Structure 1
Amino acid sequence: MKKKKIIFAGTNKLSAEHLNQLIIKKFNIISIITKLDNKIRNKNIFSEVKKIAIQNKIEFIQPKSLNSKKIYQYIKNIKPHIMIVVSYGLIIPKKIINLFPLGCINVHTSLLPKLRGPSPIQYTILQGIKKTGITIIEINEKIDSGYILYKKSIIIKKNETYITLLKKLSILGKKSLIKCLKKIFLKKIIKIPQNEKKVTYTNKIKKKNGLINWHSNAKNIEKQIRAFILWPGSFFFIKKIMIKIWKAKIVKSSKKNIPGTILKANKNGIFISTKKNILKIKKLQISGKKKNNVSQIINSYKKLFKIGKILN
């Protein structure tokens, strides 16, 4: 069963953890597809998946696109049975999908059909959803719309961040992928169509999405901080200095202040008014400095957080 020939496509840490699990379980990975290297200061930065490919001496390719004749012929020549995609980032053309007798499958970090698209974990937190999970689908030419092959859910804790939820979904995803593959190889899989009436979408998160809007309410801002904790972060500016919030708490208040007003700044936190309620900042990072608890740095930066100042 494990000798079925597999091509794996992925890029980031989530992808790498799934690939590692397949290698540990001795599945037959014959080729890996990952993104092009990032170049920083004339140095090539490898993806997490490429590092694993090199460590395990598995053949890999890094195409700009999967639409070329060269890529089509490469895949056709090695005669794989199935393709596994985890956070790869490029569209798989129909002509490529058709090369796999057991199909192409994708591990998606939401309960499809809800939250299709590139940012399901962030949107799960932003929308205050209380249950999420892993959905493994059969890939077709439309994004995240194929038949559901396997689905497993988990409950989300109140203060879940992108980092903690990613870890939980990675563990769940690895277990789910192994179970799903076994069912596929034994031809015991049941394909369930997605309910198109329940479809929702996510967008790619951009740097500008991290800028805090103080005219939003404290609840939404606090969710944004947890959702964007890894990237792009949630930040605001004082005197052109960027300040990133790492941890905050909602303080209920019936008083009406201009949104963005610094109400208090002491060892207990920095209190800033919003459209509804107050955001109490507990941990932050001033540009060029390390992140720290407010209690440990407030004495050095009292002039920066001047009481009564209104943030844009």
Structure 2
Amino acid sequence: MKKIKIIFAGNDAFSLKHLKKIFLLSFVKLKAIIISKKKKRNKKISYIEKFSKKNNIKLIKVKNFNSKIKKKLKNINSDLLLVVSFGMIIPKKILKIFTLGGINIHASLLPKWRGCSPIQNSILSGDKKTGISIIQMNTEIDSGDIIYIKKYKIKKKENYNSLSNNLAKIGKQSIVKVLNQILKQKIKKIPQNNNKATYTKKIKKKDGHINWNNSAKKIERMIRAYKPWPSSYFFINKKMVKILKSEIILKKKKNKNKNLIGKIKDFNKNGILIETKKNFLNITKLQISGKKKNYSCNLYNSYKNFFKIGKLLT
């Protein structure tokens, strides 16, 4: 059986799940792996490096796609560039090296949520569905023709970790189908409707700082979207507190007294109740800076004075 020669480009845990699947396919020859070269390396990227070393696969670290990198990739002689959560635009001169060009696995139903944080934005926006899109790459962000699309119904309490894992399962199944279609030359391409495109931005640590002037619904989505990073947090007594789990408690009327917003309404064994712009947010699991993760009910006796009723959270 003819094998398709692939160079894989990816940087994180979502990428790694797809990389492992590709590596096991009998009709794929994985020729090399590309990762972005950054000053600060994180564990997720190092996992891909470890995978390449363990399986004796050539690793290429890229800061930018200069002539040296172009020559190196050309000499590897591959059919296809497969990109998953790579975070860098691949220039046309690089895509042209590959006889089949480049394809990208993206964690949204394109053209919705183009860019680097589609999973988080699906949760933040309260989307009912998302999915996996596999596209033929061009030089613009996630705007290439769609080759394959698979929908996924988002569960009610889905957070970043669970949604990422579920989409990776779909992505792994989808890429096997697409690669088979490529070998059989049965690919159909559907142009995206650019008028319906929405874009995401790179998430920063400061994005996790809670603004209590938002509704409880918006804050609760944020807590799920930003778990585990950058996490959703507030400050009390100059200490950072991360919210790990929460729930919305309905309030009959919208909060018209701005002085109450962000204050602790109650603290009991059911959680820490916070006033927001609309409804209450009940914190059920948290982590105080320098302490272990814990459920609010376990902190009730020892932290009554810390989470004092009427205290303003910043």
Which range, TM-score by smaller chain? over 0.9
Q: 1:269 to 1:125 in 2, by over 3 A?
A: same
Counterpart-to-counterpart distance in 1, 2:311 and 2:102? 55
1:122–1:162 contact (8 Å) kept in structure 2: yes
Q: 1:35 to 1:293 in 2, by over 3 A?
A: same
**1:55-74: CA deviations, max 9, x gaps?**
110111112111x1111111
Task: State the partner residue of 1:20.
Answer: 20
Task: State the partner residue of 1:200.
Answer: 198
Task: State the partner residue of 1:32.
Answer: 33
Task: State the partner residue of 1:170.
Answer: 168
Alpha-carbon shift at residue 47 of structure 1 (Å): 2.3
Task: State the partner residue of 2:125.
Answer: 127
1:206-225 to 2 correspondence within 5 Å?
Answer: 206-225=204-223
RMSD: 1.6
Alpha-carbon shift at residue 309 of structure 1 (Å): 1.3
**1:82-127: CA deviations, max 9, x gaps?**
0000011111110000111111000000000000000000000000
Counterpart-to-counterpart distance in 1, 2:191 and 2:31? 30
1:55 equivalenced with 2:57 (yes/no): no
Paired residues, number: 309
Counterpart-to-counterpart distance in 1, 2:310 and 2:44? 45
Q: Which runs of 4+ in 1 moved over 4 A?
A: 37-40, 43-46
1:38–1:44 contact (8 Å) kept in structure 2: no
**Secondary structure of the corresponding residue to residue 5 of structure 1:** strand
1:228 equivalent among 215, 223, 226: 226
1:86–1:107 contact (8 Å) kept in structure 2: yes
Percent same amino acid among aligned pairs? 51
Unaligned runs of 5+ in 2: none
2:134–2:148 contact (8 Å) kept in structure 1: yes
Unaligned runs of 5+ in 1: none
Alpha-carbon shift at residue 48 of structure 1 (Å): 2.1
1:1-312 to 2 correspondence within 5 Å?
Answer: 3-26=3-26, 27-36=28-37, 39=40, 47-66=46-65, 68-255=66-253, 256=255, 257=257, 258-312=260-314
Alpha-carbon shift at residue 45 of structure 1 (Å): 8.4
1:11–1:48 contact (8 Å) kept in structure 2: no
**1:257-310: CA deviations, max 9, x gaps?**
521110101111000000000000000000011111101122221111110112
TM-score by length of 2: 0.95
Counterpart-to-counterpart distance in 1, 2:76 and 2:234? 51
**1:222-258: CA deviations, max 9, x gaps?**
0000000110000000011000000000001125352
